[in-house]
């Protein structure tokens, strides 16, 4: 009987702890007054914008180079 209660207690704790942690995580992320969280969010936004700009410049350069090479090959023929 005690072993069954112990197993049920362990099962209950294994189910409840991750749920509680998830709830706390959601609440912490939703808190807009937390200075550290807003700083982290701003850094992520800025970091992602810089990456997108660099990628778009790289693609623009590649596309321009490709277009020029294609035009030169057509003119050569």
From CA 73, how far away is CA 77, in angstroms rounded?
6
- Split at pLDDT 50, 70, 90, the class of 68 is very high
- CA distances for 72 relative to 15, 57, 58, 67, 77, angstroms: 67, 23, 21, 9, 9
Are the C-beta atoms of residues 16 and 9 closer than 8 Å to each other? no
- pLDDT single digits (tens) 27-54: 888 887 888 888 888 888 877 766 666 6
pLDDT at residue number 53:
66
Residues 6 or more apart whose Cβ sits within 8 Å of residue 28: 34, 37
């Amino acid at each position: 009987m005690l072993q069954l209660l112990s197993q049920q207690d362990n099962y209950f704790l294994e189910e409840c702890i991750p749920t509680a942690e998830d709830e706390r995580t959601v609440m912490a992320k939703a808190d807009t007054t937390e200075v550290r969280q807003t700083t982290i969010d701003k850094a992520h936004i800025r970091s992602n914008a810089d990456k997108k700009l660099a990628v778009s410049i790289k693609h623009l350069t590649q596309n321009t180079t490709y277009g020029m090479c294609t035009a030169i090959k057509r003119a050569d023929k």
